Structure 1
């Protein structure tokens, strides 16, 4: 067996939920045994699950020591490794669309809050209903606070959309 063949492992599959992926792992340095880090990087390329969000399991044990070689971990050609992980991110092509949808939902929420404020304002209470007037005032302040939070979220969404547009422009040049 050549040095290159010795550093190549082919677990028969990585299982991610109901999905199964064939995986070939090659050590980053040609003459070294592949490490768990090499496996995790290959898994990231195949599944799209970022390294930080991966939990790899072999024979019921969670694999955590990224610098360990596959030989030391007992992982051999043809083995099965289970992946538990979440993608937790959107592809770049979908981020702008998702931010646009979020922005629209925030704007709709702001409209609903404004209608609530109008309804509260239209309530006529006699002067002697002091407790009710105080509760109404407190409710108005809560709704105004929620509106301020919506404004903050809208601003954050706008900033993220601007960043994405700048990145997209930079990539297209």
Structure 2
């Protein structure tokens, strides 16, 4: 493919490794923009930010995510400063914030220790499990809604509801187990990134558990209704 030559400064990273960014990148619909990021004191990085949207401009979020990958400073703990002004609106295009190609941006923030990173990984793995269980919850809800709308033959409804009741109870149990695993992660006071993640994860699981309760209650009501109808018919 064609190559678009970008004049991008290259700085060594003041650590045991150095970052080598290509000065030539393949041309695609995405434009690349170069920025120099100066981190706490004398550490310098040169980054190339591409927009995540086709034909779009890179946003502050695109830059912050890349800075996290390059420096290890998590997005929530980055303070990005340009020309003495703090950049905060993550969804804004960089150009709207006045940050032009080739600009210098200052980063203030702290990296996580390897110990905190290990705990963070545990929480991220649990987060993936939560997503998988949430998908099961969504499936039960969809199937239940289709029964409520009468998409299933009357004589099959009782058995289907019984199965859904069993599945929603199992799903709630899985969420409870995850909650116990999250609770079991003890974090030191200074692991602020982990604490934030843990708190957010607990809240999400509690929301899903409340949904399980609601759906289980609705399934129960539907089963009772069906039973009353069948009894009335039997009489």
What TM-score results when the alignment is normalised by the length of structure 1?
0.50
Return the structure number with greater relative CO, CA threshold 8 A, min gap 6: 1
